[in-house]
Structure 1
């Protein structure tokens, strides 16, 4: 086996499962993560892991049994409501072939971290520059990583950008940058909801509850820790959060203002999912890369996950794509190491497969966005979503 030096930038699900797969193949790697530790910040909400993509990667990583211990099949339930609270479509999530059970993002990340050898992750490492070593004597390029702590790691044969929406690695492959999708998300969270607000718990149920109308939505999803995460979403200009007049620094005022400004005529329970948040609201404009994303293959550099094909969460495929990308890239790296296939060939094959798959999902995601925030009534939205999505293809804004 040819020994290579591989750097993985980013410790999200894609970077972590790639690390696990390389570890199982005894291929050395270095994983660099911006967070100071696994406990530095909240990891977000819940994710549905698809049987035909994400679960395949977990199985090859030897983690499917561990995943099944934490997965929640009842989390596949979903309903769509109008702004008056009327249920216009509901699905209990049962009887779907293969299934797409939910798992909390923080649980998935902990599971992946626990599967790695001690010291596999180098924490608190922010990449500020990547340079090609022009003095290298080998025919294949070598790359150096420069970090914000004034340190440098040299001599990498492959740098994998698993570093998300604003990827440093992507800038070496393409000038494309994420563009604003037209949708801004205002996140709320209620903890211990069954005890504190049983009426809100009943409204959302065990899975997802999408309240949609008038080019806006209140999208809520049950988490395995007993909380409900809600994303109030609005179709507005990119600078809306700074120009709308809402005082986001005053938590009690901002909750009332967002309801008054955008959801005043919606039903009380829907509004309470925002008003009763146990935490300050978090504003997230949603961004996306071009649907027809592509770049010229460059030996020594590649991308996976959001770094390669960022899209909005309206088909629930983001993490599943990242896991599938990592699985395919691990096969490409093994082909280089074991069969001595050159880097250009293995990366070109990998990237063509990845981008073809992502293009299909990006088109569906964008179609869902335009249906959900079309301005039409809830009945029409539910019918159209049922036609294009099928049961269970959702992510509650937590992709």
Structure 2
């Protein structure tokens, strides 16, 4: 497989069969029939990849994104993009050089500590030898948006309902009262997908509770903490509890707390009703027997910055009978524990689905079936490994096991 952006420009950038967008984006096929109306629900990383790839192949698609703008809310931390998935997608979109200009190879630096503050593992590739550089999520989405025409982005469109049309395809209803019809519906709308129920009754299962806090302008405002975290990230692992920190390219350090507990734990904490001092004290209570150098990460965080959510995953091996008018990608298809694969697999999904559509002539059913066949097997294998890592990371001997894994 050649993943260079140059070879894609020559060989894969323009579709040679199937539907081609002409005359300002109005697609027609060689028989004069109208092009398929493709709707991508969700303008996250996977949705932007599939839309960008389709347009690169001359096939029109519209992305319906619930946020009103790219920066309507925070994007989260950084991602390590893998050569065979995330980086492959960027290469096929002609974004390799832009990615290299924005990526942070030093972000691969990772330290693993135990609750006593001892460093048990340190992954620090020599300069130029790393294969999985980090990039901020927001920066990555901005890069991907350069491959999706502005006219193909429909912002502020929160999906509220889907109706199957008698003639085939679906009618989408949005919170603003708008409607849109499509021949192929691509659900790229995350772990709580509204599109998924059209295909399967599978639902995400609770794994743990996750809290994120931030230290803005860390090098200036908290230089000791910034030096302790280093250029990349650290993970302190103990029985059913993790404390982590990750540096972003904007100078922010994101501190995370993961607790193996039941689905109602976050609600019972009532963090929104606590003062910041009470919040910090409660978090310290979770790590009362941990090294103060580690728990000092909590003290350095910005007041009021805590955001909590439950971590969930779909059953490993989730599948459904293929349909020609709807499919899923990314977390909507195979929500996994957040151990580094989710975004990468979503990006690869987008590439492979778009390629299947571009190479299928006018047979959407064949394209969807071919894409799903490969995706199901790949997601089952990677999902099983992700589940194993997630379980390992919250085990009684998590620090020792993770240090051995990364060593």
Same fold (TM over 0.5): yes
Q: 2:347 aligns with which of 311, 323, 330?
A: 323
Deviation at 1:118, TM superposition (A): 2.3
Deviation at 1:94, TM superposition (A): 2.9
Determine the C-alpha separation between the residues in 1 that align with 2:352 and 2:201. Answer: 25
Please show how residues 96-111 of structure 1 align to structure 2 within 5 Å.
99-111=131-143
Q: 2:306 aligns with which of 281, 299, 306?
A: 281
Q: What secondary structure is seen at the aligned counterpart in 2 of 1:233?
A: strand
Q: What secondary structure is seen at the aligned counterpart in 1 of 2:213?
A: strand
TM-score (norm 1): 0.90
Determine the C-alpha separation between the residues in 2 that align with 1:295 and 1:242. Answer: 33
Q: What secondary structure is seen at the aligned counterpart in 2 of 1:119?
A: helix
Q: What secondary structure is seen at the aligned counterpart in 2 of 1:176?
A: coil
Indicate if the aligned counterparts of 2:108 and 2:130 stay in contact, CA closer than 8 A. no
Q: Paired residue for 2:188?
A: 162
Residue 371 of structure 1 pairs with residue 392 of structure 2:
yes
Residue 352 of structure 1 pairs with residue 373 of structure 2:
yes
Q: 2:90 aligns with which of 52, 55, 58?
A: 58
> Once superposed, which parts of structure 1, at least 4 consecutive aligned residues long, lie more than 6 Å away?
95-98
Deviation at 1:96, TM superposition (A): 8.4
Determine the C-alpha separation between the residues in 2 that align with 1:236 and 1:44. Answer: 23
Deviation at 1:203, TM superposition (A): 1.7
Deviation at 1:201, TM superposition (A): 1.4
Q: Deviations over 1:266-312 (max 9, x none)?
A: 12232122222114211111000000110010111000000000011
Closer, same or farther in 2 for the Cα pair 1:329/1:218, shift >3 Å? same
Deviation at 1:146, TM superposition (A): 0.8
Closer, same or farther in 2 for the Cα pair 1:381/1:108, shift >3 Å? closer
Q: Paired residue for 1:149?
A: 176
Q: Paired residue for 1:217?
A: 242
Indicate if the aligned counterparts of 1:300 and 1:343 stay in contact, CA closer than 8 A. yes
Q: Paired residue for 1:396?
A: none
Deviation at 1:238, TM superposition (A): 1.0
Q: What secondary structure is seen at the aligned counterpart in 2 of 1:145?
A: strand
Determine the C-alpha separation between the residues in 1 that align with 2:356 and 2:148. Answer: 20
Q: Paired residue for 1:343?
A: 364
Q: Deviations over 1:133-180 (max 9, x none)?
A: 11x2xxxx22111111122112x1100000001111111000111110
Residue 112 of structure 1 pairs with residue 137 of structure 2:
no
TM-score (norm 2): 0.88
Q: CA RMSD in A?
A: 1.7
Q: Paired residue for 2:6?
A: none
Indicate if the aligned counterparts of 2:392 and 2:398 stay in contact, CA closer than 8 A. no
Indicate if the aligned counterparts of 1:78 and 1:93 stay in contact, CA closer than 8 A. no
Q: 2:230 aligns with which of 205, 210, 234?
A: 205
For structure 1, the residue ranges without an aligned partner over 5 or more in a row are 392-399
Q: Deviations over 1:249-268 (max 9, x none)?
A: 423311221212x1112122
Count of paired positions? 374
Please show how residues 257-268 of structure 1 align to structure 2 within 5 Å.
257-260=282-285, 262-268=286-292
Indicate if the aligned counterparts of 1:216 and 1:375 stay in contact, CA closer than 8 A. no
